[in-house]
Structure 1
Amino acid sequence: MGLLRTAFAEVGRLIQAHPVLTLLCALVLIGAATGGASQIESVTGDRAFVGENPTLDAFSERFDRGTVATLVRGDVTDPATMRAIARYDRRMSDVENVERVVSPADRVQEEYGRIPASQAKIEQVIGASDSELVTIVLEPDLTQQQSRPVYTKAVDAKQWVAFPSGVSVTITGSAAFSSQLSQLIQQSTQQLLGLAVGLMIIALFFLFRGVKLRLLPIVAVFTGVIWTFGAIGYAGIPNSTLTSAVFPILIGLGIDYSVQFHERFEEELERHPPREALPLALGGVGPPVFIAMCAAALGFGATWISTVGTPAFVWFAQTSIFGVLLTFLAGLLVLFPLLTLWVRVRGWEPASQHTETPADSQASPDSGQMQNESTEIGMLGRTLGRTSRTLAAHPFLVLGIAALLMSGGFYASSDLTTLADTEEFIPQDLPAYVDLQQFRSASGGGESVQFDVLVRGSELRNPETLRWMERFRTTAEGKPSITGVETPATLIKSYNGGSLPQTERGVERTLARIPEAQKTRYYQDGYAHIRVIGAQNMNTEQQLSFFENVETLLTLTNSPSGVDAELTGQAAVSTPSTVTQIEDRNVTTALGFIFVFGALLLYYRNLLRAVAPLIPMLFVVGWQNLYMLVFSIPVSPLGASLGALSVGIGAEYTVIVMERYFEETGQQGVSRLDAIETAGARVGKAITVSGLTTVFGFSALTLSPFPILADFGSLTVGVIFLTLVAALATLPPTLIVLGRLSDTVWALWHRRSQPSAERVSKSDD
C-alpha cells in the first residue's frame, strides 16, 4: 500500500512540475485516437452474437448467400411494370458482389424472348398476382461491410428505373436491415454520449456547488472517451448494439474518478501550497481510486471470460476495460494539469494562513476544528453518520433483514422474464425491420423461416446418402414447428421423374442436367446443404425446441458411415448462445466476486478487509432480482453481466467507507461505533453525491431506442442506487460483526498460545 502511495505521489510531483508538457501528451493521444476511431466498423444482427465456429464458417463460405429482396406491389402484370422490373433486374445483375438476380421478368422473357405488350400474355406466365418478388442473390461469405453497398445500389436502381405510379416497391433483406441498423447504432452512440454529457453537466452543476471549476471533470472524461474510441479502432473491436452502451457507463464511472481527484486536490490546497498539495492529493486518493478502477475492470473482465464465444459481449467487455483505464488516465493527464495551471494563474493563499487568531489558539481543544468539520459535513453528512451508527448498533437485525431480502431475490429470479431473441433487441419501429415483416407477410415468409444443415463426407452423391436424406425429410416433415425440408435428394428427384437413381452413375447423369445455379445451392466443394423450413413466429423457447428436434432427427435417421450432418446457420448458433449467457449469469457474477476479492486481498493482504467490502455486494445481487421483478425488467444477455459489474463498480463505495472506518479505529480512544459514525458522516456524503452523479450518467441509457439498452439502463440505475444503500446501511454492521469475530478468533488464539509460551518461559528459567 505504501509503495502504491509513493508511486502516485511521484506522479503528482511530475505533473505539478510539467503541467503544459502533460497536456501536450494528452493532445497527442487525442490526435492518435482520431486515426483509430476512423477504423471502427459496425457489426449488427446475429453475426454480432456468433463467434468462431468451423461448421458455420464452412457453411457461410459455400452456401450462405445473403439476399436483397425487392417486393413489388400493385399492377405487376402491367407491361410497363414488368419492363421496369426487367430494367431493375439488368442493372442489379451488374453490381459487384451480386451473384444473380431472380425476377418474374426472367420467366416472361424466357417464354416470349421479350416483355410482351399484352397484360394477358404476362398473366399466362406469372398468374394474376398483385405482388411479385425480385431476389438479388449475393455471393457467399460476404461481410456486412461488403453487402451493405448492394442495398445502396438497389435503392439507387429503384429511383433510376422509375416504376409506374401506383406501384409500391419495398427493398428489404439482410443487407438492407444491416445497413439501417448500422446507421442507427452510430446515431444512438452519438445521442447517448451527448445525453450522458448533458446529464453530467446538470449533476455536477447542482450536486458539487461548493467545488471550484466543478464542470472541469467533464473535460477529462470526454478526453478519456475519445481515447477509448481510438483504442477500440486500433484493437479491431467493432461497434455493435451492445458496445454503444459502454460510453454512458464510462461517463458515469469516469466522472466519479475525476471528482474524487478534484475534491482531494482542493482539500489539500486548503492546507498546503500547490507544489505540495498535488503530490499529497494524488498520493492519498490515487491508490483507492486506482483499486476502484481495477475492481470495475475486473468486473468487466469476468464478463469477458464468461462470454467467450459470443462476440458482442466480448466487445462490450473489452471496450469497457479500455474505457475505465483511459478515463482514469485522463483524470491524471488532463484534470490535474488544468487545475495546476488554474491555481498558478489565480494565485494561491491557503485558508489556514488567515483564519486563525491568538484567541482561536487559546480556545478549547479542537473546538474550532469541530466547528469547521460540522459546517463541512452539513445536514446530510450528520444524518448519514447518525443513521450508520444506529444500524451498526443492531448488526444482526440489519444483516438479518438484508439477508432475508437477498434470499427472496434469489428465489424470485426464476420468475423473471427473459429477452433472448436478437430481433427483440432492436427498435420494433425501425423502417428496415417493418419492411422485413411486411415482406415476410406478403411473400409467404411470414409463416416460415429457413434453417440449415451442413452435410460433409466423401460419398455425398452416393444413392445410399441420398436415400438417407430422403428418409430424414419424410421423418422431419410433420414434426412440431417443421413445415418442410429441401435436400439434394429433393432436387435430384425433380429432374429424375420423381424418383432417386439407383446407381451413382445415374445420379451423376441427373446432376449433369441440372442448371449450375440450382446445383450450387445444394452441392459445393465436398459439402451438401439441407434446408429445414420452420415456423416463422417461433419464440425463443420454441426455437430451442426446434433445434433440438432437428438434431435428434439427424441422429435417429442414422446417416451413412463417413457422412456427418450438423445444424448450423446464424440463427441456429446465435440463439442458443444468447440463452446460455442468460443461464450462466450466476457464473459471471461468481467470477466477478472472485476477481475483485483477489484484487482486494492482494492490495490489503488482510482477509477481513478483502471480505468486508464484498458482503454488501452479495446483498445487492439478490436485491436486484426483486427490483427487476417489481419494475418488470427482463433478464437480457447484457443484464446478465450486471452481477459482475455491480461487484466491480460497488466495491469503490464500500472500500472508501471501510478505509475511513479503519483510519478512525486506528486513533486512540475511538470506539467502533464512533468510527462508524465518523466514516458515515465524512465519506457517506461524498459517495452519495458521487453515486447520484454516476446514476445521472447511466440514466442516459434508459432513453436508448434499443430495448435491450433501455432495459439495461433502467437496471443499472436501480443497481447503483441499491449499491449505495448497501454501502451505507449494511457495511457498518458488517464491519462490527467481522470486528467482533476477529476479536474472538484473536482471543482464542492467544489463549492457546499462552500455555506454550509459559512453558517456554519456565524452561528458560
Structure 2
Amino acid sequence: MMSLRTIFARLGRLIQSRPLIMLTAVVVVTGIAFSGAAQIESVTGDRAFVGENPTLNTYDDNFDRGTIATLVRGEVTEPATMRAIDRYDRRMSEVDDVEQVISPADQVRAEYGRIPGSQEKIQRVVGNPDSTVVTIVLEPGLTQQQSRPIYTDAINAKEWGEFPSGVSVTITGSAAFSSQLSGLIQQSTQQLLGLAVGLMVIALFFLFRGVRLRLLPIVAVFVGVIWTFGAIGYAGIPNSTLTSSVFPILIGLGIDYSIQFHERYEEELENHRPREALPLALGGVGPPVLVAMFSAALGFGATWVSTIGSPAFVWFAQTSIFGVVLTFITGLFVLLPVLTLWVRFRSTSEEEASPSHESEFPPQEQTGSSNIGRLGQALGRTSRTLAANPFIVLSIAIVVAAGGFAVSSDLETTADTEEFIPQDLPAYTDLQEFRSVAGGGDAVQYSILVSGEQLRDPDVLRWMERFRVIASDKQQITSVSTPATLIKQHNGGTLPETEREVRQTLAAIPDDQKAQYYSNGHAQIRITAEQDMNTDEELGLFDTIETSIALSQPPSGVDAKLTGQSPVSTPSIVEQIENRNATTGLGFALVFGALLLYYRNLLRAVAPLVPMLFVIGWQNLYMLALSISVSPLGASLGAMSVGIGAEYTIIVMERYFEEVEQTGISRLDAVETAGSRVGKAITVSGMTTVFGFSALTLSPFPILADFGWLTVGVIFLTLIASLATLPPTLIALGRLSDKIESVRADKAASRNIVPSETDD
C-alpha cells in the first residue's frame, strides 16, 4: 500500500511539472465559486437557533403572524396626522403577504365613514393619546426572506404617507430586526474579512522573513475563502451571526497550512534543485499537515455532532469544515504552483545574467534561506532546555491546568439572543423604545399549541378556562388569552353548555378574530409575560407554564405544548453551554481515534493531545481574568481548540520523529532541530493566526467580539503549549516507552534462558 509520503511526493512532482495547468484549474473553480456565493441567504435572531420541530412548524404555519409595529408619537388626533395614518394604513393593506393592518384610523373611519377635519370628533373616538400604534399583521408561515421586503415597503409607505413635521414615526418588529441584522451580518463579514487579511499582511511582512513571495500565503488563503463561500452557497448553508465568525478563523487556519508548505519548500531548496525540492518538501510536510487539517475538521465535527438540532451551531461547524479542507487544497494548488513558477523565473534570469553560474538559485536567496535566524535558534535552545527538565515543566503545566478546571464553574454565561446583537442597532433601540412607550413587544408573547379532534367541545373550553385561572395567578405571567376567553366575550361572559351553542357563538365572531385562536384543526393559547426577563427567569417561566398545563389536566385526546421561537431556542442555547465539556470530550475522542488509526502507535496518538489538555484548563483562567463569559459560540471552542491546536503539535512531533529516526541523533538533538526548524514556522503561522483572529475583537456583535478575544488567547496559549510542553512530553513518553520495551525484553530473555538451563 502506497504511503502518504509517497503520495504527496508524487503530487509534488505533478505540481512541479504542470504549474500552469494547476493555476488554470484554480481560476475555473474560483469562477464557479463566485456563482455559489451569490446564492447565500442570511438567517437571524432566534430562528437561527431553532431546528426541525414539528410542533413549531405547525404553529408557524397556522398562528405565527409576524408583525411590524409602527409607533406614531405627537399630535395623534390632529386631522393631518390621522389622515397620514390612514394613508399609511391603506398603502400597507395592499402589500402582498399582509393579512391586515390595525390602526386608530380604522375606528375613525368606522364611526364617520371618513377622516373628519375636526380634532374634537377624532378625540371622541380615540381619546387624546400622545402616541398610538399601527400594527401590520403578516400572513402566517412567512420565512425571514419573505418578510424582509414588507419592512422595506413599510419604510416607503411612511414617506408616502407624508406625516406632518413634529410627528415621530418609528417602525419596528421582527421583520425590521431581520432586515437590519441581515444587512449588518453581510457588512460585518466583509469588514472582518478585510481587517483579518490586512492584519495578516502586516504580520507576514514582519515575521515571515527570508523567503520568496512572503505574502503569497495570503493569496492562497483568500482563494480558499472564496471557494468556501461558493461551497456553502451550493450546499444551502445560510450566513448567520455565528457563521460570519468562521471566515477570520479560516484565514487564520489556512495561513498555517500555506506557511508550512512554504517554509518546508524553502528549506529543501537550500540543498536540492527545484524539481527535487518540491517532492521532498511535500513528502515531508504534506502528511503531518494533512493529519492536522483532518484533526481540525474533526474538532469542528464534534461541534456539529453535539449541536444537532440547533442550526446556527451546525452551520458554523459545516462552514468551518468546508473552510479547513478548501484552504488546505488552495495551499497546495495555488501557493506551490506560483512558487514553482517564481523559482523558475528567478533561476532563468540568474542564468541569463551569469551564464557560468552553476546554481539554479540566486546567491542572496541561498544565504537568506539557509540561516534559520535568531528566532529559530532561540526556539531550538529553549525547546532543548525545557525537554531536558520534563518533570518540572509538566508539573507546572498540570498545576496551572488543574486550577483552570477548578474555576470553570465560576465563569459567567451568556444565553440571551438579544445580548448577541449590537445594542445600538437601530432596530433594537426602536424595539426598546416601542416597549417602553407601548408597554409591549413580541418578545414577551408566548404560545401554547393545542391539538385534538374536539377543540370546540365545552369540556375542552372549560379546561382552557381552568388553565387560564391557574396560569394567570403565576408571578411572571401578566395575562392569558384562550379560545374560551374569546367565546365568553361573545356569549355574555359565560361558556356555552353544549357544542351546538359553541358553534352558534363562533359563527357570530368575525373571522379575523377567530383566526387568532383556531386554524386547520388546531387552537392557540396566548400568554403575555413580564418584560426584561433574564435567561434563568425565562426558563423558569417555561417550567411554570408546563406545570400549569399539567395541573389544569387537559381532557383525553387533547395535546397542549408550549412553542414558539423563544421557548424552543433558549433551552437549546443553554443546553449547548451546559454540554460544553461533553463537546470538548467528543473532540478529544475523535482526534485521538483518528491519530491512533493513522499512526497505529499509542505514544504518537497521545503526545499531540497532552498540550491541548493543558490549554483547555489554561483558557478558563484566561476567561476569568478577562471576564469573558461562556457564550454558545465559546462553548464550542474546547473541541475546536483540540482540532486547531493539534496542527501545531502534530507538525512539531512529526519533525521530532523524523530527526530521531536518523542515525546518531539523540532525543534532545531532535527536539532542538524540531524547535528551530518547525518551531519557527509554527511561531510565524501562530502569530499570524493571532493577528487574523484579532479582527473578530472589533466585530459589532458582542458575541463575536468576546469570541475573538477568546480565540486570540487560546491560539496564543496553544502556541505556548506546543513549544513549551510538547518537547518535555515527547521526552517523558519516550523514556516511558524505553522502560516498557526494557521490561518486555527482560521477560522475553528470561523465557529464553529457562529452557536452555533445563537442557543443560
TM-score (norm 1): 0.95
Cα deviation code 1:486-517 (max 9, x no counterpart) = 11111111111111111111111111111000
Equivalent residues in 2 for 1:380-529, closer than 5 Å: 380-445=375-440, 449-529=444-524
1:741 aligns with 2:736: yes
TM-superposed CA distance for 1:375, in Å, is 7.4
SS at match of 2:210: coil
Aligned match for 1:558, one of 536, 553, 557 = 553
Give, in whole Å, the separation in 2 of the partners of 1:383 and 1:221: 29
Partner of 1:654: 649
Distance 1:575 1:546, change over 3 A: same
TM-superposed CA distance for 1:652, in Å, is 1.3
TM-superposed CA distance for 1:761, in Å, is 5.3
Give, in whole Å, the separation in 2 of the partners of 1:610 and 1:598: 8
- What amino acid maps onto 2:39 in structure 1? Q
Partner of 1:56: 56
Cα deviation code 1:112-168 (max 9, x no counterpart) = 111111111111111110111111100000011100010001111111110111111
Give, in whole Å, the separation in 2 of the partners of 1:652 and 1:686: 12
1:235 aligns with 2:235: yes
Aligned match for 2:718, one of 718, 723, 728 = 723
Give, in whole Å, the separation in 1 of the partners of 2:457 and 2:514: 16
Partner of 1:248: 248
Give, in whole Å, the separation in 1 of the partners of 2:156 and 2:368: 70
1:709 aligns with 2:713: no
- What amino acid maps onto 1:570 in structure 2? Q
Give, in whole Å, the separation in 2 of the partners of 1:280 and 1:49: 47
Partner of 1:597: 592
Give, in whole Å, the separation in 2 of the partners of 1:178 and 1:336: 43
Give, in whole Å, the separation in 1 of the partners of 2:248 and 2:451: 47
Give, in whole Å, the separation in 2 of the partners of 1:606 and 1:71: 68
Distance 1:227 1:427, change over 3 A: same
Q: How many residues align?
A: 751
Give, in whole Å, the separation in 2 of the partners of 1:207 and 1:500: 79
Distance 1:108 1:760, change over 3 A: farther
Root mean square deviation, CA, Å? 2.1
Give, in whole Å, the separation in 1 of the partners of 2:590 and 2:93: 55
Cα deviation code 1:259-283 (max 9, x no counterpart) = 1111222222222222222222211
Partner of 2:362: none
Distance 1:579 1:124, change over 3 A: same
Q: Is the 8 A contact 2:173 2:442 kept in 1?
A: no
36-45 vs 119-128, which deviates more? 119-128
TM-superposed CA distance for 1:184, in Å, is 0.3
Partner of 2:543: 548
Partner of 1:187: 187
1:290 aligns with 2:290: yes
Cα deviation code 1:411-432 (max 9, x no counterpart) = 1111111111111101000011
Give, in whole Å, the separation in 1 of the partners of 2:16 and 2:741: 45
1:25 aligns with 2:20: no
Give, in whole Å, the separation in 1 of the partners of 2:284 and 2:388: 30
TM-superposed CA distance for 1:2, in Å, is 6.3
Q: Is the 8 A contact 1:448 1:483 kept in 2?
A: no
Cα deviation code 1:384-437 (max 9, x no counterpart) = 233223322332222122111111111111111111111110100001111111
Partner of 1:205: 205
Equivalent residues in 2 for 1:622-701, closer than 5 Å: 622-701=617-696
Q: Is the 8 A contact 2:210 2:368 kept in 1?
A: no
Give, in whole Å, the separation in 1 of the partners of 2:35 and 2:413: 39
Give, in whole Å, the separation in 2 of the partners of 1:685 and 1:608: 24
TM-superposed CA distance for 1:663, in Å, is 2.5
737-746 vs 133-142, which deviates more? 737-746
Distance 1:764 1:338, change over 3 A: farther
- What amino acid maps onto 1:140 in structure 2? P
Cα deviation code 1:693-725 (max 9, x no counterpart) = 111111111110000100001000000010011
120-129 vs 420-429, which deviates more? 120-129
TM-score (norm 2): 0.96
Give me the identity figure in percent.
72
Give, in whole Å, the separation in 1 of the partners of 2:278 and 2:372: 23
Give, in whole Å, the separation in 2 of the partners of 1:136 and 1:662: 69
Give, in whole Å, the separation in 1 of the partners of 2:683 and 2:340: 27
Distance 1:278 1:675, change over 3 A: closer
SS at match of 1:426: coil
Distance 1:394 1:268, change over 3 A: closer
SS at match of 2:149: helix
Distance 1:700 1:373, change over 3 A: closer
Give, in whole Å, the separation in 2 of the partners of 1:155 and 1:728: 57
Q: Is the 8 A contact 1:71 1:132 kept in 2?
A: yes
Partner of 2:268: 268
1:613 aligns with 2:613: no
411-420 vs 270-279, which deviates more? 270-279
Cα deviation code 1:160-179 (max 9, x no counterpart) = 11011111111111001100
Partner of 1:148: 148
- What amino acid maps onto 1:220 in structure 2? A
Q: Is the 8 A contact 2:461 2:484 kept in 1?
A: yes
- What amino acid maps onto 1:299 in structure 2? G
- What amino acid maps onto 1:717 in structure 2? V
Give, in whole Å, the separation in 2 of the partners of 1:543 and 1:476: 15
TM-superposed CA distance for 1:354, in Å, is 6.9
